[in-house]
Amino acid sequence: MNDGTIRAPQWGGLCLDIANPEGRGPQSGAPVIAYQCHGGPNQLFRVMNDGTIRAPQWGGLCLDIANPEGRGPQSGASVIAYQCHGGPNQRWQLGAADTGRGTFLPPETSPQVKAEKYLNMGGGWGGATATLNRDGYLVIEGRAVSDSATTATRTSVFVVGLDRRGRTLFVSKKYDIKTACGRWDPTCPSERVDTFTERIEPELARYVAQLNVYVGEHGSTGFQASLERIKENIRATCSSYEDLPVAARAAIARLTGVPGCNPGR
């Protein structure tokens, strides 16, 4: 769920709950139960990139499959909240039950993904190179060049990230590169280079397999309309991305402002 709870929608809508029968607060070793949802701190969890599921507002405890005698995996073992240690009995993978596939799309393994595009703009050219690092930092290096004596080049760019299935995961902001003046114009250079940075949530950046760079003339209504169409496409289709992990879907929901982008909410 976008609110941090983990629910059983087909089993009374109950929530995972770290038991707190005597009101003592976070206790390592407390049992994890199914309880009526109230959204308290002992019902709020976060799926981490290392596979652990933590209760950040309840002592930072991790969901843990109890192993009191060190016997290893045992069907029927209890789930408890325990001090995080990252062991195999604290690492989870949430299955995409609604898809029938039972597993999530694997994250990309390359350290970064790059793309570039340049466009002849009549009397000059403009474009950009985009690099997305897996920590979520998107770097866009934009260029605008005027080859004309008198005509300026005004270029705008934005970047779209797609997963390996070709689905749109994010759209960057639109960036305007400084005007490249005609070569006879002394008021500004005829070649411009601007660098822009933007933060994409790492939980989402891990699944970006391809970048598309869009280049257009600054102020073009058609270029702006293309940007809005892509944004609307994410809003309209993101609820079907069931094979992305909860953290990635939640990142899309926050990015778009559409809670329905996270089907598990």
Highest average pLDDT, of 82-86, 97-101, 138-142, comes from 138-142
User: 222: domain CATH number?
Assistant: 2.60.40
Q: How far is CA 168 from CA 27, 160, 165, 229, 264, in A?
A: 42, 7, 9, 12, 19
Instruction: Tell which of 59, 92, 125 closes a domain.
Output: 92
Residue 194 domain flag: yes
In this structure, the answer to whether residues 121 and 36 fall within a common structural domain is: no
Residue 100 domain flag: no
For residue 262, pLDDT beyond 70 = no
Asked if residues 214 and 227 have their Cβ atoms less than 8 Å apart, the reply is yes
Predicted confidence at residue 247, as pLDDT, reads 84
In this structure, the answer to whether residues 70 and 186 fall within a common structural domain is: no
Residue 103 domain flag: no
Residue 145 domain flag: yes
Residue 48 domain flag: yes
Q: Residue range 130-134: average pLDDT?
A: 97
233 Cβ contact partners less than 8 Å away, ≥ 6 residues apart: 168
Asked if residues 265 and 253 have their Cβ atoms less than 8 Å apart, the reply is yes
Instruction: Tell which of 27, 57, 92 closes a domain.
Output: 92
For residue 99, pLDDT beyond 60 = no
**Nearest one of 48, 47, 18, 14 to 33, comparing CA atoms:** 18
Q: What percent of the chain has pLDDT over 90?
A: 59
In this structure, the answer to whether residues 125 and 236 fall within a common structural domain is: yes
Place of tokens 């690092």: 133
Q: Residue range 89-110: average pLDDT?
A: 68
In this structure, the answer to whether residues 57 and 166 fall within a common structural domain is: no
Q: For residue range 106-128, what is the model confidence (pLDDT) as tens digits?
A: 889 899 999 999 999 889 999 99
Side chain identity at residue 103, one-letter code: T
By residue range, what is the domain housing residue 42?
Answer: 7-92
**Nearest one of 159, 117, 152 to 138, comparing CA atoms:** 159
pTM: 0.63
Number of domains in the chain: 2
Asked if residues 205 and 134 have their Cβ atoms less than 8 Å apart, the reply is yes
Q: How far is CA 227 from CA 93, 196, 230, in A?
A: 34, 17, 5
**β strands within the chain, DSSP E:** 7-8, 14-18, 30-35, 46-47, 53-55, 61-65, 79-82, 112-120, 124-133, 137-146, 155-162, 168-171, 175-176, 191-199, 210-217
Q: For residue range 46-58, what is the model confidence (pLDDT) as tens digits?
A: 888 778 899 999 9
What confidence tier does 135 reach under pLDDT thresholds 50, 70, 90? very high
In this structure, the answer to whether residues 84 and 213 fall within a common structural domain is: no
Rounded to an integer, what distance in angstroms lies between the CA atom of residue 121 and that of residue 145?
9
Lowest-pLDDT range of 6-15, 88-97, 131-140: 88-97
In this structure, the answer to whether residues 248 and 121 fall within a common structural domain is: yes
In this structure, the answer to whether residues 155 and 257 fall within a common structural domain is: yes
48 Cβ contact partners less than 8 Å away, ≥ 6 residues apart: 54, 247
Q: Residue range 153-178: average pLDDT?
A: 95
Q: For residue range 218-247, what is the model confidence (pLDDT) as tens digits?
A: 888 999 999 999 999 998 888 888 888 888
